């Protein structure tokens, strides 16, 4: 599904180049649940953003579903992003002025989904995440965990193939975090490809594979052992 080859990302400051990502080469197949780990400033989020097409690499090749992303025109890239990807953020990033219902509905509006269909899709999410009663509340009326539930619901309501999550439990209590991670697991079991950035080994254990990044390089790339324990 995702094929990265020699991806580089750097900032030029005068004559000096500061590398964020160097020589990133890896493949991610459909159905994988990959966790990107590494210390702060290692380039985890940048890699996630490049894969999510929110950012682009300066060098290298990136194929998404066999399409050469870096050579595509903006419009096609936007289409790919829109059709296949869902995002979950550490800070939830719900729109303050919209209700729970409307927040979840937003991606469907941008995909020009018909009204009746929209209603049933949003209703399904509300029902699945047990937040039907909260559908008319605004984000500031919810707890962090509830907000993130809405965030996940919004990310997957349009049925993306790939779910990208940047520290999805970073702002949550552990109990709330577990609910989110169980949800990810469930989605993965249903066939969703998931790519998450996290510091937490516990969260990583929900996945199938770990990419460790340091100073912009992939240091290690290994599967998560069945049974939930991490090992080499």
Partner 1 sequence: MWLNYLKIAFRRLANNRIVSVLNSLALAVGLTVALLIGIFITHELQYDRWVPDHEQVFRVYRVWNQTSNVVWTPSPLAEKLRSDYPEVISASGLSPSGEKLVELADKQIFVEHTAAVDSTFFQVVSLPFAAGDPETALSDPKGMIISTKLAEIIFGEEDPLGQTIRLDGTDDYFITGIISLEGRNSHLAFDLYRRFEWYSPYWSGNNRATYVKVNQNSSVEGLEGKVTTDVNKLVQQELAGMNLNVNAEDQAEWRLQPFAKIHLHSSEYSWIQSKKGNIEHLYIFGLIAVLVLLVAIFNYVNLATAQATQRGREIGVRKVTGAMRSQLVSQFLTESILIALVAGVIAIVLTVLLLPVFNEVVDRTLTLQEYGLLGVIGMVLLTIITGLLAGTYPALVISGYRPVEVMQKKFFHAGDKGLFRKVLVTSQFAITITLLLFMAFIYKQIHFMNSQDLGFDPEQIITVPLNFSTTNYSIQNRKNDLLAIPGVEAASVSSRLPGKLIPDWTIRIMGREEGYNPYVIFTDPDFAEVMDLNVKEGRYLDEEIAADSVNNFVVNETLVREFQLDDPIGAEIKFTSDTVWGRIVGVVEDFNFHSLTRPIRPLVMGGGERKWFASVRLNTAELDQVLASIQTLWQEIEPTHPMRFEFLDEEFAALYEEQSRFGNTVLYSGLLTLLIALLGLFGLTMFSVQRRVKEIGIRKILGASVSSIVKLISLEFILLIIVAFLIAVPVSFYIVRKWLENFAYQTDVSWWLFPVIGLVIIIIAMITASVQSLRAANLRPATTLRTE
Q: How far is the CB of 86 from partner 1 (least distance, A)?
A: 8
Q: How far is the CB of 57 from partner 1 (least distance, A)?
A: 13
Place of tokens 């516990």: 202
Residue selected from 154, 163, 180, 192 as contacting partner 1 according to rule CB under 8 A: 154
Answer whether 215's CB lies under 8 Å from 41's CB: no
Residue selected from 43, 57, 60, 107 as contacting partner 1 according to rule CB under 8 A: 107
Q: Which of 144, 107, 104 is nearest to 128 (CA)?
A: 104
- Burial of residue 22 (CB within 10 Å: 0-12, 13-18, 19+) is middle
Q: How far is the CB of 65 from partner 1 (least distance, A)?
A: 17
Count of C-beta atoms within a 10 Å radius of residue 230: 15
Number of residues lying near partner 1 (CB under 8 A): 25
Direct distance between the N- and C-terminal alpha carbons of the chain, in angstroms, rounded to an integer: 25
Answer whether 96's CB lies under 8 Å from 139's CB: yes
- Give me 61's structure tokens: 């090749």
Binding string, residues 33-72; x marks residues near partner 1 by CB under 8 A: ----------------x--x-xx-----------------
Residue selected from 27, 39, 71, 109 as contacting partner 1 according to rule CB under 8 A: 109
51 vs 224 by CB, closer to partner 1: 51
Q: How far is the CB of 75 from partner 1 (least distance, A)?
A: 8
* 135 part of the interface to partner 1, by CB under 8 A: no
* 158 part of the interface to partner 1, by CB under 8 A: yes
For residue 113, the SS3 value is coil
For residue 36, the SS3 value is strand
Bridge partners of 17, per DSSP, are: 12
Of residues 71-100, which lie at the interface with partner 1 (CB under 8 A)?
A: 78, 81-82, 87, 89, 93-98
* 213 part of the interface to partner 1, by CB under 8 A: no
Handedness of CA 52, 151, 188, 177 (dihedral sign): positive
7 vs 204 by CB, closer to partner 1: 7
**Interatomic CA distance for residues 230 and 19, integer angstroms:** 30
Among 101-109, 129-137, 176-184, 208-216, the segment contacting partner 1 (CB under 8 A): 101-109
89 vs 217 by CB, closer to partner 1: 89
Which residues does 127 contact at the CB level (< 8 Å), separation at least 6?
A: none
Site for partner 1, rule CB under 8 A: 49, 52, 54-55, 78, 81-82, 87, 89, 93-98, 102, 105-107, 109-112, 154, 158
């Amino acid at each position: 599904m995702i094929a990265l080859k020699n991806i580089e990302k750097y900032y030029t400051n005068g004559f000096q180049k500061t590398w964020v990502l160097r020589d990133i080469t890896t493949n991610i197949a459909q159905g994988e649940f990959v966790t990107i780990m590494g210390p702060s400033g290692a380039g985890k989020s940048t890699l996630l953003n490049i894969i999510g097409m929110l950012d682009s690499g300066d060098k290298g090749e990136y194929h998404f579903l066999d399409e050469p992303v870096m050579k595509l025109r903006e419009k096609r890239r936007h289409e790919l992003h829109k059709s296949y990807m869902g995002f979950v953020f550490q800070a939830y990033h719900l729109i303050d002025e919209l209700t729970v219902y409307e927040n979840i509905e937003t991606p469907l509006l941008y995909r020009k989904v018909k009204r009746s269909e929209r209603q049933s899709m949003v209703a399904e999410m509300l029902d699945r995440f047990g937040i039907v009663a909260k559908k008319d509340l605004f984000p500031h009326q919810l707890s962090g965990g509830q907000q993130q539930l809405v965030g996940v619901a919004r990310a997957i309501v349009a049925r993306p193939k790939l779910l990208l999550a940047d520290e999805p439990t970073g702002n949550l209590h552990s109990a709330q975090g577990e609910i989110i991670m169980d949800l990810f697991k469930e989605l993965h079991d249903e066939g969703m490809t998931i790519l998450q950035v996290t510091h937490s080994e516990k969260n990583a254990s929900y996945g199938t594979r770990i990419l460790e990044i340091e100073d912009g390089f992939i240091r290690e790339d290994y599967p998560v052992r069945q049974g939930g324990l991490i090992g080499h």
